[in-house]
């Protein structure tokens, strides 16, 4: 396919209407295969350089001999362009629509992006697949690294290397995988070194209406329990009612009789359509230009987004409490085990493990618990809150995770090494990025598309020292304790930095951030004295 | 001190913190019904200043340490025949968003004494006793009464000048009892003119200058409503006076009059002799209504807020419940009004006149907030103290009536959280502009705590006239004495000094937040946060910054010393130089 076929008019004169606190830009608009460029000439700093992948929805309106295009971006920004010439307007809108929704991964921008400061493949050693196992092996020898999934045959959404109880052979894993949806058999995802309890995750067992059992699956969980202290809790992220429904279609949950030592708890978390709807309604409320805002709070309430934040944090706290305070092993799963499950396991680790709260540690948590663990980023983040039409697989579960982390960072302002800038960057890159890190739905797909060798890693870009001020928390001081967040309603707040980012001038917060950095760098300069 | 005769209680009594001048009255074993942790057996101590509760179960320090001034109401709960555990005792309503409940033994009228003592000392003015501020013998290195000197403040603003003069027409409060003695008025109006205008303004509160823009010379004036009445009375002197104000900045545009009230209320006020400046009569003025509701609406709104945050936060539909209190909406209207006032003045379009009905509640909110937005001086600690002293205290915000210091009549409809609402607006601004204010949240909370405490004379009485009569400055201490003696505690480390930048907060509901650290601070679940809270880090950062500045000064000294006599440099300082030069 040639990109040029999709670009009917490459150039036009246009005016970008200003957002709050900005000035308008008039200049030449240019559509390339991956970008929209609006330049006032001479490399002016106000030039617009928009990745087309970032466009979520295009609206066009004609008026006489000119037109207006409204670009609603995945990062929630809304851009308005006035374009000279009616035909140009329609052509450009059509090109943007076509180019922004290309489905092929290998023609996407990351496969063409070649920044000078980075080398291809330089992130390969940042998060090696066996790194997590090496860490665990330092603490205990109860676990081993299995390569049963080396060719993605046992489980298409798992990575090649997985950590399992030492006494469990690969053939047992393979059989357990057949008893789990999508082959996601229980694997270790966190070892709590303080008391040796563990957290595992999986997908639902394929129990079905006639309550099938699987001896190997039972053996696997029994062995895990033996390693982790004897008492276990299955945290099912669905309601008991939803599990009953799932049984009809072949799914289910762990029967008490079959898994001695494991108790079960249902903590229903929203996912899929309802979560996407909540996101869409929240963004609608945040961008509603009507001035009668006296119903804002009840509208915010009605979106239920903060309720989802609260539920996610509460569930993670529950898991963390079980491990840390009661010495219980936790197995987390819902149905597929690729959404709410990962939300809970990753949040639990942030709460308990100080290593996850550094810039590098957080990246490796994301790499392990989201990317390699098979969260289907391509499907979930295909569209953001503005897309028209019924969502197919979109759901802002990763954004919900970032929001929960932001709540943690607000309640524990010193304990995370990274700041809001990092969370905003992750949100943007998950939805549209020049880097390959969030491409595809699984390691297998990434392997087939050669993502790791043909695209640059977001991590190597973020780890450049020039990014430090934007991403890092200047007042970070390592906190060895668990972070128990308050989930009281008054403690949780709307993440204004993200949801209201484009509707208010950003300077004051920016200034405070810079001032903070200034004080801290002054300190660093003063310290060697 | 009745019980100090027996040694045992004296020992305990030694451990109770007391201010100089504070005396112990009584103590009693009670069960404190903590809404968060359940009943706790303790001993309550009452002094003439505070209520102090120590646990008898654990060795922890004070469970409660509350100035009696905070108490709004003391009630008996249950009777001699009440059944059920802890059903007999005292119920105490506080002015700072909490209630306290003590259970006592039912036998022998055990609560009678403590009820009487509490009532007497919490409401001394209803019992012919002095407020504690008049007994307080604390000493501070700073004297807060020196913070505000009207002549100096007007001089800072460049007044008097060719258009504005200082008038002593109210020197002995003979023209207006609720105004300060020093006023700034148009140069071209005589004191006789002022007296005539006074007859046409509610409670004689004539338009006077609050603030002048340093460049465009537009002014913010404040006053009370004109006495138009049902008959639509006119007053030539008032009309002429407003014209003089309009012309003082040398512009021909209309004078903008901001009436803080909703227009229906302004109209309704005609029935009681008040009203507003209609443009048929005041041709050169333009009136805008700001839709801010009256003191009763605000009191009711805060009461609803308390209902949903104390003792427990309304869990389900928290935001909808919060909305139904309308508290944030009222905050929004006050802020929006102040922004309009400030913008009118700053944009150079015209001078403004602000009033409501009497000009001591909403008017004070609007003028002081607009001044805070326009003049960076008021964003410093000293400047903010001046702002409160000037726009609130000296211009007769009725603190005594609005707070009810030492009065037992909790249901008095004159009470209203107008000043708290202003402080909330200030907090909203400080949230939106984290580097623009020299003071921190602790400063705002300390001011509010001492709004009720009666430890200082600062917020006592309704007017300068009453304060002079009671010799407040001689007989009591100023809150600013305490604050200015320990400034570091109240300083915002992120403050960046900048001059003359106007700050306009975003007053949309989306950007306003509930001041959780104030309104919900008693909730213990809120408090279980990080062991080293960010405040502590602030202080560390501040110390570092001070140290850094000090070192820098030292460098400069040695540097200039080196320049003057190059032989005098020590090897140690020369080693220090390279590190410090880099950031400059």
pLDDT surpasses 90 at A12: no
Q: Judge: B320–A297 Cβ closer than 8 Å, yes or no.
A: yes
**Res. B189: pLDDT tops 90:** yes
Give one DSSP letter per residue of B126-175, joined into a string: GGT---GGGT-----SS-GGGS--HHHHHHHTT-S-SSEEEE-TTTTSSS
Residues in chain A with CB shorter than 8 Å from the CB of B322 are 297
B526/A523 CB distance under 8 A: no
Which of B318, B506, B541 has the CB atom closest to A519's CB atom? B541
Show residues of chain A in contact with B505, CB under 8 Å: none
Question: Which stretch of A138-147, A335-344, A381-390, B255-264 has the lowest confidence by average pLDDT?
Answer: A381-390
pLDDT at B534: 56
pLDDT in tens, B426-479: 999 999 998 899 999 999 999 999 999 999 999 999 999 999 999 999 999 999
**CB within 8 Å: A486 and B528:** yes
CB atoms within 10 A of CB B239: 18
- Known binding site: residues of B? 294-295, 356-362
- CA dist B388 and B307 (Å) reads 29
Report the residue of A481, A501, A526, A528 to disrupt the B interface, i.e. the one with the largest count of B CBs within 10 Å. Answer: A526
Mutate to test the interface with A, among B313, B318, B327, B492 (most CBs of A within 10 A): B318
pLDDT at B561 over 60: no
B517 pLDDT above the threshold of 70: yes
Inform me whether the pLDDT recorded for B14 exceeds 60: no
- What are the E-state strand segments in B205-342? 208-212, 219-222, 255-259, 285-289
Cross-chain Cβ contact A295/B323 below 8 Å: yes
**What is the pLDDT at residue B533?**
53
**Maximal CA-CA distance, chain B:** 91
Q: Which of residues 282-321 of B touch A (CB under 8 A)?
A: 309, 313-315, 317-320
Asked if residue A319 lies in contact with residue A263, where contact means CB atoms within 8 angstroms, the answer is: no
3 state DSSP class of A349: helix
Calculate how close chain B gets to A277, using CA atoms only, in Å. Answer: 19
Domain boundaries, chain B: 24-122, 150-520
pLDDT above 90 covers a percentage of chain A that reads: 64
**Hey, are the CB atoms on B544 and A526 less than 8 Å from each other?**
yes
Task: Find the Cα–Cα–Cα–Cα dihedral A381, A386, A391, A393, rounded to 10°.
Answer: 10
Which tokens belong to A178? Answer: 């057949």
The CA R_g of chain A, rounded to the nearest whole Å, is 24
Asked if residue A376 has pLDDT above 80, the reply is yes
The tokens for A333 are 């799963």
**Per-residue confidence (pLDDT) for residue B136, from 0 to 100:** 96
Asked if residue B259 lies in contact with residue B285, where contact means CB atoms within 8 angstroms, the answer is no
Task: Give the Cα separation of A126 and A362 in Å (integer).
Answer: 12
Query: Kind of pairing, strands A162-165 and A187-192?
Result: unpaired
Q: Is B81 on the interface with A (CB under 8 A)?
A: no
pLDDT at B564 > cutoff 80:
no
The answer to whether A529 contacts B580, with C-beta atoms less than 8 Å apart, is yes
pLDDT tens for A281-332 read 999 999 887 755 668 899 999 999 999 999 999 999 999 999 999 999 999 9
Mean pLDDT of A365-394: 91
Q: How far apart are CA B356 and CA B259, in angstroms?
A: 5
Q: Is the dihedral of CA A178, A231, A315, A369 positive or negative?
A: negative
Query: What is the C-alpha to C-alpha distance for residues B424 and B422, in angstroms, rounded to an integer?
Result: 5
Residue B445, CA distances (Å) to A240, B135, B136, B164, B450 in order: 47, 24, 21, 37, 9
The answer to whether the beta carbons of residues B184 and B165 sit under 8 Å apart is yes
Report CA A89 to chain centroid distance, whole Å: 35
List, in order, residues 6 or more apart from A227 with CB less than 8 Å away: A140, A142, A143, A165, A166, A196, A198
pLDDT of residue A232 exceeding 60: yes
Name the pairing type of β-strands A232-236 and A197-201: unpaired
Task: Name the closest residue on chain B to residue A529, using Cα atoms.
Answer: B576
In DSSP terms, A48 is beta-bridged to: A38
Q: What is the mean pLDDT of residues A220-241?
A: 92
Kindly identify which residue of chain A lies nearest to residue B331, measuring between CA atoms: A294
Lowest-confidence segment of A21-35, A84-98, A512-526, B333-347 by average pLDDT: A512-526
B314–A489: do the CB atoms touch at under 8 Å? Answer: yes
The CA distance from A320 to B496, in Å, is 41
Residues of B in contact with A526 (CB under 8 A): 544, 547-548, 551, 579-580
The verdict on B540 touching A (C-beta cutoff 8 Å) is no
| Residues β-bridged to residue A62 | A67
pLDDT tens-digit readout, B95-151: 999 999 999 887 777 888 899 999 999 999 999 999 999 999 999 999 999 999 999
Mean pLDDT across the stretch A85-89?
86
Could you tell me if A256 and A227 are in contact, meaning their C-beta atoms sit under 8 angstroms apart? Answer: no
Say what the pLDDT of residue B577 is: 29
3-state secondary structure of B503: coil
CB A14 within 8 A of CB A40: no
What confidence tier does B496 reach under pLDDT thresholds 50, 70, 90? confident
Place of tokens 């903008």: B256
Coil, helix or strand at residue A158: coil
The residues that bridge with B89 in the sheet, in sequence order, are: B77, B103
- For residue B516, the chain A residues in CB contact (below 8 A) are 490-491
A490 CA: distance to closest CA in chain B (Å) = 7
What burial class does residue B216 get, using C-beta atoms within 10 Å of its C-beta: 0-12 exposed, 13-18 middle, 19+ buried? middle
- Provide the strand spans (E) within B234-337: 255-259, 285-289
Determine contact: B508 vs chain A, CB below 8 A. Answer: yes
Contacts of A489 in chain B (CB under 8 A): 313-315, 318-319
Q: Looking at residue B329, what is its pLDDT?
A: 94
Q: How far is B409 from chain A (nearest CA, A)?
A: 32
Q: Which CATH code of 2.30.29.30, 2.70.70.10, 2.40.110.20, 2.60.40.1930 fits the domain covering B24-122? A: 2.30.29.30
pLDDT of residue B575: 29
How, if at all, do strands A35-39 and A25-31 pair? antiparallel
Contact indicator for B10, B78 with CB cutoff of 8 Å: no
- Rounded Cα–Cα distance for residues B250 and B351 (Å): 10
Report the C-alpha gap between A46 and A456 in whole angstroms. 26
B509 vs A297: CB contact, 8 Å cut-off?
Answer: yes
Tokens of A345: 């396991």
pLDDT in tens, A441-475: 999 999 999 999 999 999 999 998 888 888 999 88
Task: Locate the chain A residue with the closest alpha carbon to B322.
Answer: A297
Burial class of residue A1 (count of CB atoms within 10 Å of its CB; 0-12, 13-18, 19+): exposed
From the list B322, B531, B544, which residue is nearest A523 (CB)? B544
Supply the pTM of this predicted model: 0.89
Give exposure, A21-39, as e/b (b: 16+ Cβ within 10 Å). Answer: eeeebebebbbebbbbebb
CA-based nearest residue in chain B for residue A415 = B530
User: Comparing A84 with A155, which gets the higher pLDDT?
Assistant: A155
Angle (deg, nearest 10), helices B418-432 and B327-346:
70
Quick check: B549 contacting A, CB < 8 Å? no
Tally the C-alpha atoms within 13 A of residue B347's C-alpha that lie toward its C-beta. 12
Per the annotation, the verdict on B356 as an active-site residue is: yes
* Dist CA A318 CA B536 (whole Å): 29
CB contact under 8 A, B548 and A491: no
Per-residue pLDDT of A162-181, as tens digits, reads 999 999 999 999 999 999 99
- What ipTM does this complex have? 0.86
Q: Which residues of A touch B579 (CB under 8 A)?
A: 525-526, 528-529
Residues of B with Cβ-Cβ distance to A296 under 8 angstroms: 323, 508-510
- The token duo for A59 is 């609206």
Nearest CB partner across the interface for A512, out of B328, B434, B582: B434
- The enclosing H or E element of B166 equals strand B164-167
Neighboring chain B residues of A286 at a CB cutoff of 8 Å: 510
Q: Enumerate residues 6+ apart whose C-beta is below 8 A from B7.
A: none
Q: Which residues from B are below 8 Å from A298, CB to CB?
A: 319-320, 323
Task: From the candidates B34, B176, B223, B356, give the one annotated as an active-site residue.
Answer: B356
CB within 8 Å: B318 and A525: no
**Using CA atoms, how far apart are residues A335 and A238, in angstroms rounded to an integer?**
8
Task: Reduce the DSSP state of residue A73 to 3 states and report it.
Answer: strand
Helix intervals (H) in B326-403 = 327-346, 362-374, 381-387, 399
Task: Decide: A337 and A184 in contact? Cβ < 8 Å.
Answer: yes
Closest by Cβ to A489, choosing from B313, B433, B509: B313
Tokens of residue A211, six digits: 């309550």
**Could you say which of B320, B510, B526 has the minimum Cβ distance to residue A293?**
B510
Please report, in angstroms and rounded to a whole number, the separation of the first and last CA atoms in chain B. 63
Question: How far from A270 is each of A254, A311, A339, A399, CA to CA, in Å?
Answer: 21, 9, 10, 13
Distance CA B524, CA B522 (A): 6
Q: What is the pLDDT of residue A66?
A: 84
The Cα-based distances of A512 to A470, A519, B497, B537 in angstroms read 13, 11, 12, 15
Tally C-beta pairs within 8 A across A and B: 128
DSSP three-state, residue A475: coil
- Range of A110-119, A333-342, A459-468 with top mean pLDDT: A333-342
Which H or E run includes A345?
A: helix A340-352
Contact A511 B510 (CB under 8 A): no
Cβ–Cβ gap A519/B529 under 8 Å: no
CA distance B436 to chain A (A): 9
Q: Count CA atoms closer than 13 A to B506's CA, side-chain side.
A: 22
Q: Are strands B219-222 and B208-212 parallel, antiparallel or unpaired?
A: antiparallel
CA distance A242 to chain B (A): 23
Residue B439: DSSP 8-state: B
pLDDT for B354 equals: 98
Query: Which one-letter DSSP state was computed for residue A113?
Result: -
- For residues A93 and A67, give the distance between their C-alpha atoms in angstroms, rounded to a whole number: 10
- Is A297 close to B433, i.e. CB distance below 8 A? no
Q: How far is B373 from chain A (nearest CA, A)?
A: 14
Prior bond to B160 cis, omega within 30?
yes
Cβ contacts of A479 on chain B, cutoff 8 Å: 530, 532
| H/E segment holding residue A517 | helix A507-526
**Size of chain A in residues:** 529
- Mutation target for A interface from B308, B319, B541: give the one with most A CBs within 10 A: B319
Write the residue in A504, A522, A526 that is nearest to B506 by C-beta: A504
Annotation: binding site of B for substrate: 294-295, 356-362
Domains and CATH numbers, chain A: 4-102 (2.30.29.30), 136-522 (no CATH)
pLDDT at position B68 over 60: yes
Q: Which residues of A230-258 are buried (b: 16+ CB within 10 A; e: fewer)?
A: eebbbbbbbeeebbeebbeeebbbbeeeb
Q: Average pLDDT of B468-494?
A: 94
């Amino acid at each position: 396919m040639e990109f040029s076929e999709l670009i009917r008019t490459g150039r036009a004169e246009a005016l970008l209407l200003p957002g709050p606190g900005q000035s308008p830009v008039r200049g030449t608009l240019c559509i390339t295969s991956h970008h929209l460029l609006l330049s006032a000439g001479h490399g002016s700093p106000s030039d617009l350089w928009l990745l087309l992948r970032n466009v979520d929805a295009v609206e066009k309106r004609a008026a006489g001999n000119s037109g207006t295009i409204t670009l609603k971006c995945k990062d929630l920004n809304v851009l308005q362009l006035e374009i000279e010439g009616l035909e140009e307007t329609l052509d450009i809108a059509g090109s943007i629509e076509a180019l922004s929704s290309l489905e092929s991964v290998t023609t996407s921008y990351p496969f063409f992006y070649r920044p000078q400061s980075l080398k291809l493949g330089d992130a390969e050693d940042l998060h090696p697949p066996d790194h997590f196992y090496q860490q665990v092996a330092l603490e205990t020898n109860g676990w081993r690294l299995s390569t049963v999934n080396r060719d993605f045959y046992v489980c298409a959404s798992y990575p090649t290397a997985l950590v399992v109880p030492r006494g469990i052979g690969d053939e047992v894993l393979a059989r357990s995988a057949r008893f789990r949806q999508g082959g996601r058999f229980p694997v270790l995802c966190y070892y709590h070194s303080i008391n040796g309890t563990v957290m595992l995750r999986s997908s639902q067992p394929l129990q079905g209406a006639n309550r099938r059992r699987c001896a190997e699956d039972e053996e696997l969980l029994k062995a895990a329990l033996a390693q982790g202290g004897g008492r276990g809790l299955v945290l099912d992220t669905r309601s008991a009612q939803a599990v009953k429904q799932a049984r009809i279609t072949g799914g289910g949950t762990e029967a008490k009789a079959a898994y001695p030592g494991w108790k079960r708890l249902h903590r229903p978390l929203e996912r899929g359509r309802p979560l996407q709807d909540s996101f869409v309604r929240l963004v609608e409320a945040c961008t509603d230009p009507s001035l009668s805002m006296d119903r804002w709070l009840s509208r915010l309430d009605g979106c239920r987004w903060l309720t989802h934040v609260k539920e996610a944090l509460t569930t993670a706290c529950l898991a963390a409490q079980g491990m840390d305070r009661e010495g219980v092993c936790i197995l987390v799963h819902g149905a597929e085990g690729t959404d709410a499950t990962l939300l809970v396991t990753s949040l639990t680790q942030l709460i308990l493990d100080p290593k996850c709260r550094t810039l590098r540690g957080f990246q490796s948590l994301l790499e392990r618990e989201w990317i390699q663990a098979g969260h289907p980023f391509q499907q979930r983040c295909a569209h953001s809150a503005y897309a028209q039409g019924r969502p197919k697989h979109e759901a802002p579960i990763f954004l919900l995770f970032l929001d929960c982390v932001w709540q943690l960072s607000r309640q524990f302002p010193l304990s995370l090494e990274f700041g809001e800038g990092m969370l905003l960057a992750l949100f943007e890159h998950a939805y549209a990025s020049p880097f390959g890190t969030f491409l595809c739905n699984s390691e297998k797909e990434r392997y087939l598309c050669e993502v790791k060798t043909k695209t640059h890693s977001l991590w190597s870009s973020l780890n450049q020292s020039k990014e430090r001020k934007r991403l890092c928390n200047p007042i970070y001081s390592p906190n060895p304790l668990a972070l128990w967040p308050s989930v009281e309603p008054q403690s949780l707040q709307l993440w204004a930095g993200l949801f209201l980012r484009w509707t208010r001038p950003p300077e004051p917060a920016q200034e405070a951030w810079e001032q903070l950095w200034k004080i801290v760098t002054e300190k660093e300069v003063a310290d060697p004295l | 001190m009745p019980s100090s005769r027996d040694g045992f209680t004296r020992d305990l009594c030694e451990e109770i913190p007391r201010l100089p001048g504070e005396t112990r009255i009584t103590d009693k074993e009670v069960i404190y019904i903590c809404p968060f942790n359940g009943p706790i057996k303790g001993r309550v101590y009452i002094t003439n200043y505070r209520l102090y509760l120590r646990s008898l179960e654990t060795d922890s320090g004070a469970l409660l340490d509350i100035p009696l001034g905070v108490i709004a109401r003391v009630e008996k709960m249950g009777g001699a025949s009440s059944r059920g555990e802890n059903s007999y005792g005292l119920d105490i309503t506080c002015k700072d968003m909490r209630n306290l409940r003590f259970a006592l033994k039912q036998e022998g009228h055990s609560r009678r004494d403590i009820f009487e003592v509490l009532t007497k000392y919490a409401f001394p003015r209803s019992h012919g006793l002095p407020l504690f501020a008049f007994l307080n013998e604390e000493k501070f290195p700073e004297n807060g009464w020196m913070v505000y000197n009207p002549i100096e403040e007007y001089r800072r603003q460049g007044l008097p000048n060719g258009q504005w003069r200082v008038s002593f027409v109210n020197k002995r409060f003979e023209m207006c009892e609720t105004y300060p003695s020093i006023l700034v008025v148009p140069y071209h109006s005589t004191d006789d003119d002022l007296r005539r205008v006074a007859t046409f303004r509610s409670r004689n509160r004539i338009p006077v200058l609050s603030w002048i823009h340093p460049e465009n010379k537009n002014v913010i004036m404040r006053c009370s409503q004109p006495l138009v009445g049902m008959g639509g009375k006119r007053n030539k002197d008032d009309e002429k006076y407003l014209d003089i104000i309009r012309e003082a900045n040398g512009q021909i545009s209309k004078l903008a009059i901001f009436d803080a009230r909703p227009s229906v209320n302004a109209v309704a006020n005609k029935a009681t002799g008040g009203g507003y400046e209609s443009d048929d009569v005041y041709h050169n003025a333009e009136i805008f209504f700001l839709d801010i509701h009256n003191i009763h609406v605000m009191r009711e709104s805060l009461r609803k807020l308390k209902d949903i945050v104390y003792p427990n936060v309304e869990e389900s539909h928290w935001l909808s419940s919060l909305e139904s209190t309308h508290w944030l909406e009222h905050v929004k209207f006050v802020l929006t009004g102040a922004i309009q006032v400030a913008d009118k003045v700053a944009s150079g379009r015209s001078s403004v006149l602000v009033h409501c009905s009497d000009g001591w509640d909403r008017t004070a909110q609007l003028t002081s907030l607009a001044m805070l937005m326009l003049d960076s001086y008021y964003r410093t600690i000293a400047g903010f103290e001046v702002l409160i002293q000037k726009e609130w205290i000296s211009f007769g915000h009725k603190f005594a009536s609005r707070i009810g210091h030492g009065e037992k009549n909790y249901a008095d409809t004159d009470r209203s959280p107008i000043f708290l609402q202003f402080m909330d607006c200030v907090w909203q601004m400080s949230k939106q502009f984290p580097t623009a204010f020299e003071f921190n949240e602790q400063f705002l909370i300390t001011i509010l705590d001492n709004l009720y405490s009666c430890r200082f004379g600062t917020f006592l009485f309704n007017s300068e006239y009453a304060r002079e009569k009671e010799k407040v400055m001689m007989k009591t201490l100023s809150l600013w004495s305490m604050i200015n003696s320990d400034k570091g505690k109240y300083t915002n480390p992120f403050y960046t000094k900048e001059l003359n930048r106007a700050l306009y907060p975003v007053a949309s509901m989306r950007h306003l937040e509930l001041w959780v650290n104030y309104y919900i601070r008693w909730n213990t679940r809120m408090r279980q946060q990080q062991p080293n809270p960010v405040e502590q880090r602030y202080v560390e950062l501040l110390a570092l910054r001070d140290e850094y500045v000090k070192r820098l000064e030292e460098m400069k000294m040695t540097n200039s010393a080196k320049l003057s006599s190059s032989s005098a440099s020590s090897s140690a300082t020369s080693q220090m130089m390279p590190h410090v030069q880099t950031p400059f």
